[in-house]
Structures are given as C-alpha cells and as structure tokens.
Amino acid sequence: MFSRARLVFSMLAVALGLSLVGAPSTTAVVSHGNARFARGAAGVGDNYFPYAGNGGYDVRHYHLELRYRPPVDPSVPEDQLRGRLRGVATLRLKATQDLSAFNLDLRGLDVTSVEVNGKRARFTQVQDDAHRRWEVTVRPRPKLTEGSLAKVVVTYGGPTGRPRDVEGVLYGWVTTADGAIVVNEPDAAMTWYPVSDHPTDKATYSYRVTVPKGTTAVANGLPARRPINRRGTTTWFWRAPDLQASYLSTMSIGDFNFRPRYRTLSGVPILDAVDADLSPKNLATTTAALAEQPRILDYFESIFGPYPFIASGAIVDDDSVGYALETQTRPVYSQAADEGTVAHELAHQWFGDSVSPGRWQDIWLNEGWATFAEWLWTEHDGGATARERFAEVVAIPVDDEFWDLVIADPGRNHMFDGAVYDRGAATLYALRRLIGDEAFFAGAREWLQRYEDGSATTEDFIDVYEDVSGQDLGRFFDRWLRTPAKPTS
C-alpha cells in the first residue's frame, strides 16, 4: 500500500505453524471413536487482529459467484451510497485437525445457508463491531477429520456501504456511485465474502460476477472467458491461479475501459482497466505512468528475480478512497496513478504479495521494501539517488516523533504511518551499506525464494540476512527496527 499518511498520491509469532499466543481459545475436545474433535480457533492469534483468520483448516481455493446492484440513486452523498450484493462462495479446504466446528470471517452480510460436502450444515453468526469479531461458526455433519478435504458452499448477501478500518479509513467493499472499489488491507476481504482473512492462509481464486449491462468487473489474474450479456446484465469471469492472501483479492466494479494488453520483455502480460471518468489531468498522469510498467517490471526482475505471478496491470478508479493498494497482479489506484506510486505497488508484487507478513506487526517488510524499491527505480530512471533519499530520512531531527515509532511493532493504529515506510526503507539502505551489494541483493533473492507463496516474520528476515552475509546482525536490527530512537550510526 502507498502510505495513507502521506498519500493522496505523490503528485499532489504468528503463522498457523507457530505458537498462537493470544489466539481465541478452542472449545473443549470431544471424543468420537478414535478421533478427538474440537472447534477450530476463531482467529490465528495475530496480536493486532485476534479474530482475523481461523484455525483448524487451510483454504485451497475460493470460487466466488457474485451478483451486484450498484446504488439506485448515485446522486446521494457519498457516505449514504448503498449497493446490494448477493453471493455464493465455494471454498475448498483441508482440515488440519479433527473439527467439530470451524469459523469463517464475514462482516456486514447475512448468511442464509451453508453446505459442507453437499449436506446442509448448522451455523451461527456473530457481528460484534466493538471487539472486531465477525464470525460465522459452521458445524458440519459428519465432522471433519484431520487431513480430509471439504467443499463448503456459503450463500449470503445484503446491502453494501462504505466500511472503515481501525483508523477510520475506507476499505473493503467500498460502494461508489457507479459500482465499487475493493481494497482490503488489512482485514476487509470479509466485507464481501466468507474467508479465512489472514495472510498466513493463502489460496487460489476464481470469480464469476454479474453486474448491470454496461458495467465492468475487474479482478485479479486474467479473464477466464469472454463476458456474457443476458437480460440487461453482464457476467464477467476471472481466474487467479497463483496463491494469494485474502487482503490482496479484488473485484472492482465501475465504468472501466480496458487498455490493449501488452507485455514485459520476459513475457508477463499487462492488463490495465482505467475509469472512463478520470479528469484530463489525472488521465494524462495515469497514461504516462502505466506506460512505464514494462520497464519497471523488467528492472525489478533484474535485481529481485522473476516476476512471481501470471499477470500484471492496474485498476485506476475515479473515487475518493485516496490511496493505492497492491492487489495481487492488478494494483488499485484511487483517482490517478503516478510513476512513483506505480513503482511502489509493483515492487509489492514481490514484497508483500509473493512473500506476505506472517503477522500484521511485520508490515514494515511490505512497506519498507516497496519504498526502498521505489528509491531504486527512481535512481535507475535518472532521478534522485537512493543515497539522497536516505539522507533526507536521516536528516530528520533526533527529537522528531518520527523516530519514536518501533518499526518492527508499530501498533495496530500506526501500521501505515510514514515512518513505517521511510524508516523501513532507510533500514534496508543501511543494511546494504553494512553488508555490501552482493550480499544484500543475494539476501533479497533468498528471502523471496525461501518464502515464495507464503508468509514470514521479521525474525525470519533477520535469519535470511545473517545466513547470506555470515554476520551477526542482531545489534543492527535492534537499533533500526526495535529501538524508538534515531540510530546513532
């Protein structure tokens, strides 16, 4: 994501395999023959979002069949815009324990039925805004044994509005006058489909969405088939076969024009969808920036390794969300896309999308890397050097509150503060100076290879760079990431 704190564009321990400290507890174990069944945990134990994600299973694939009606009266004030969404979500998952019940995350929409392996299942739904607990508890019959595969079909729907995150920023399925802009970071995929909403549970995706005729629906990946027009509607089909964190999914809907498809030197297809209502100024900026995507991707491939996904591109929506997000294969840009922001979001395809944060406190691994990569691209393209950008950061006075934030654990309400981006990038620049170019870029490639299609933590990152450099880097990272003060060297 491009920083909410500094953006309205530049032109103006806990993966599922780790200890679940602080996780919502499971219910008592129930014996059943030779198996011992329990409810899966109602969250993966993330310190910032305790109820995000769920325990007891691993989702392999989401197939989302959606029908969406945009606002009937698009002239009402933005905060009163309402659409209507109906969905059937088919999840294919694998039980990682003997399950008597399991949870799905779903916020603001009502479930009408659930089937597990073709049989109706009982369910209950909790919508607890005060504790950020939005859960659907499913009780399959028969129970699921560890290692078994299950097909879960959830029918749901309801009105859509303009949800906000813990900082009061719009996110999730945000209703717009002509459709919806969908930007989920960190825990808002649940505003439009039932999900295990944490980056430690990645899955593949396919989409079928029906909207009023003349309206376009754009998602991750590539079109699966030509759209179908029928009785005043158009149905769009998309497939995203790469593993993907839920916060990186999208289904943006509106008055988009598709640009002709083009490719990078390595053959990555690029598909852009640009809102037809962009102002002339924003359209000119966007057109120039998107034209640079092949060069940016080619450069990042030369230093970080092959592009990790099936496609790339952009969604540029004329709306008032006010930030950009690195939705996988097709970043979303609000109002316009400028070159620096495009470089930032494309760098995220490696850092954040291919390798995602194991805990939301590790967000610097996303934003520090994307900001540093943006510095590298600007220097490569003849602009300010990374050294000059680093100098701007370290010139910030020692008593400035910028240095008060602990980058490795900024707190839930400060995940997108400017310091996470800029001090994170400065940390990487200082690391490069300390261990040298060869070890630094070897470490970046090792990080991306070791945790490809997965998630990892700050501790994992430090281990990679100590392995590659052969140095003890504990004191360095303590100064730069864990100390709420300006580094002294």
What is the C-alpha to C-alpha distance for residues 408 and 48, in angstroms, rounded to an integer?
A: 13
Q: Are 90 and 207 in contact (CB under 8 A)?
A: no
Give me the number of domains the chain comprises: 2
Q: Looking at the structure, tell me whether residues 364 and 229 fall in a common domain.
A: no
In our burial notation (b when 16+ CB lie closer than 10 A, e otherwise), range 63-98 reads: bbbbbbbbbeeeeeeeeebebebbbbbebebebbbb
Q: Does 24 map to a domain?
A: no
What is the C-alpha to C-alpha distance for residues 225 and 205, in angstroms, rounded to an integer?
A: 15
Q: Does 148 map to a domain?
A: yes
Q: Looking at the structure, tell me whether residues 342 and 425 fall in a common domain.
A: no
Backbone phi and psi for residue 252, each to the nearest 5 degrees, phi listed first: -75, 140
Q: Looking at the structure, tell me whether residues 331 and 407 fall in a common domain.
A: no
Q: Does 354 map to a domain?
A: no
Bridge partner residues of 208 (DSSP)? 65, 237
Across 101-106, average pLDDT: 98
Q: Looking at the structure, tell me whether residues 410 and 305 fall in a common domain.
A: no
Q: Read off the pLDDT of residues 422-446 as tens digits, 9 standing for 90 and up.
A: 999 999 999 999 999 999 999 999 9
Across 437-464, average pLDDT: 98
Rounded percentage of the chain residues whose pLDDT exceeds 90: 90
What is the C-alpha to C-alpha distance for residues 310 and 328, in angstroms, rounded to an integer?
A: 10
Domain end marker among 319, 349, 379: 349
pLDDT on residue 319: 87
Strands, E, within 220-351: which ranges?
Answer: 222-223, 228-230, 233-244, 251-254, 256-258, 262-263, 269-275, 312-317, 332-334
Q: Does 247 map to a domain?
A: yes
Q: Looking at the structure, tell me whether residues 396 and 339 fall in a common domain.
A: no
Residue 378 is which amino acid? Answer: T
pLDDT at 9 over 50: no
Domain end marker among 320, 349, 378: 349
Q: Looking at the structure, tell me whether residues 111 and 187 fall in a common domain.
A: yes
List CB contacts of 397: < 8 A, sequence separation 6 or more: none
Residue 299 is which amino acid? Answer: Y
Task: Please state, as a whole number, how many other Cβ atoms lie within 10 Å of the Cβ of residue 304.
Answer: 22
Q: Looking at the structure, tell me whether residues 131 and 228 fall in a common domain.
A: yes
Domain end marker among 349, 382, 413: 349
Displacement of CA 147 from its chain's centroid (Å): 27
pLDDT on residue 443: 98
Backbone phi and psi for residue 470, each to the nearest 5 degrees, phi listed first: 70, 15
Q: Looking at the structure, tell me whether residues 365 and 388 fall in a common domain.
A: yes
**What confidence category does residue 408 fall into, taking pLDDT thresholds of 50, 70 and 90?**
very high
**What confidence category does residue 322 fall into, taking pLDDT thresholds of 50, 70 and 90?**
confident
> Taking Cα atoms as reference points, which of 133, 132, 125, 140 lies closest to residue 91?
140
Q: Is the peptide bond before 142 cis (omega within 30 degrees of 0)?
A: yes
pLDDT on residue 35: 65
Its domain, for residue 466, covers: 360-482
Q: Does 21 map to a domain?
A: no
pTM of the full structure: 0.92
- What is residue 260's DSSP assignment? P
Strands, E, within 310-353: which ranges?
Answer: 312-317, 332-334
Mean pLDDT of the chain: 93
3-state secondary structure 10-61: CCCCCCCCCCCCCCCCCCCCEEECCEEEEECCCCCCCCCCCCCCCCCEEEEE
Q: Does 199 map to a domain?
A: yes
Q: Looking at the structure, tell me whether residues 274 and 157 fall in a common domain.
A: yes
Can you give the CATH number for the domain in which 244 is found?
2.60.40.1730
Q: Read off the pLDDT of residues 180-202 as tens digits, 9 standing for 90 and up.
A: 999 999 999 999 999 999 999 99
pLDDT on residue 15: 35
Q: Read off the pLDDT of residues 198-242 as tens digits, 9 standing for 90 and up.
A: 999 999 999 999 999 999 999 999 999 999 999 999 999 999 999
CA distances from residue 382 to 12, 269, 345, 367, 388 in whole angstroms, order as listed? 21, 26, 20, 23, 13
What is the C-alpha to C-alpha distance for residues 2 and 447, in angstroms, rounded to an integer?
A: 22
Q: Looking at the structure, tell me whether residues 288 and 387 fall in a common domain.
A: no
Q: Does 407 map to a domain?
A: yes
Helix (H, G, I), strand (E, B) or coil at 132: coil
pLDDT on residue 351: 98
> Taking Cα atoms as reference points, which of 340, 346, 241, 355 lies closest to residue 298?
346
Q: Does 2 map to a domain?
A: no
DSSP of 435-487: H-HHHHHHHHHHHHHHTTTEEE-HHHHHHHHHHHH-S--HHHHIIIII-SS--
pLDDT on residue 134: 97
- What is residue 241's DSSP assignment? E
Q: Read off the pLDDT of residues 257-290 as tens digits, 9 standing for 90 and up.
A: 999 999 999 999 999 999 999 999 999 999 999 9
CA distances from residue 288 to 158, 190, 308, 342 in whole angstroms, order as listed? 39, 34, 25, 11
Q: Looking at the structure, tell me whether residues 154 and 206 fall in a common domain.
A: yes
Can you give the CATH number for the domain in which 386 is found?
1.10.390.10
pLDDT on residue 18: 35
Q: Looking at the structure, tell me whether residues 304 and 439 fall in a common domain.
A: no
Q: Which residue has the tokens 């088939």?
A: 225
